[in-house]
Structure 1
Amino acid sequence: MREETRLEQADEGDDGDAATAFAERARSEHGDSIRRLVAFGDATRGDDRGVHSSIEFLVVLEDDDVDDGPTLEEREQRLEGLGKTVGIEHELVVEVYVLPADRFEDENQQDHPLVEEALEEGVSYV
């Protein structure tokens, strides 16, 4: 997996990148509960598919539900909503896949084709 430097570039004014926009907003809203955030798909590879361009995110969240905070399901819904917003802003199809950290760490889950694709060709933001 490629190590990410785009967040550093974003600090210099690069707000046109959908992956960076999603990553910054997700980290702002969910902070330390994000264990991993990986962008993958044709848009991260630089494939220009016009209106059919898409970007996918694998987000691994700590399952640290607290009595007064949002549940894992609520955080997942917020991330999916953020993906839709970023997709509209950047004219991309955005898919967000959320996994609880304990499931992500399961060896069987690491062999899932979607997880493999994200980890092998994706760009890590967290």
Structure 2
Amino acid sequence: MSDDAPQGDAADAFAARAQTDHGESIRELVVFGDAVRGDDRGVHTSVEVLLVLAETDEEIERQLDVLAETIGLEHGVVFSVHVLPAERFEAQSDHPFIRTALEEGHSYV
């Protein structure tokens, strides 16, 4: 782990690996949070991830959580992964959490 690894690199690494491993299932992948905004102040850096999957799949969700933990350890950040099935995402697109993620975040998919 590098103490000076930019948090953007962690988000990029997570997005790239998630797309490589599960790209066919991912409909949206948006990273947001204090590290992405540049508001991390060097402590308790977190990267929030909103992942929209084509359908509910507990095994893929588990694998994405493990990936987030692995990348987080490599880059010294904490990932919080929020997974929604596409149907729920579309039905609740006006929810404040979803709006914030889409407005403030960086979309990879």
TM-score by length of 1: 0.76
- Out of 45, 51, 57, the residue aligned to residue 43 of structure 2 is 51
| Bigger Cα Rg | 1
Match of 1:90 in 2: 75
Q: Is 1:113–2:96 an aligned residue pair? A: yes
Q: Is 1:36–2:28 an aligned residue pair? A: yes
Q: Deviations over 1:78-120 (max 9, x none)?
A: 11111111111110111000000111110xx222222111011
Superposed CA RMSD in Å reads 1.4
CA distance in 2, matches of 1:47, 1:73: 32
4+ residue segments displaced more than 6 Å = none
Gaps of 5+ in 1: 1-15, 64-70
Letter of the 2:40 partner, please give it. Answer: D
Gaps of 5+ in 2: 1-7
TM-score by length of 2: 0.87
Aligned pair count reads: 102
- Aligned sequence identity (%): 63
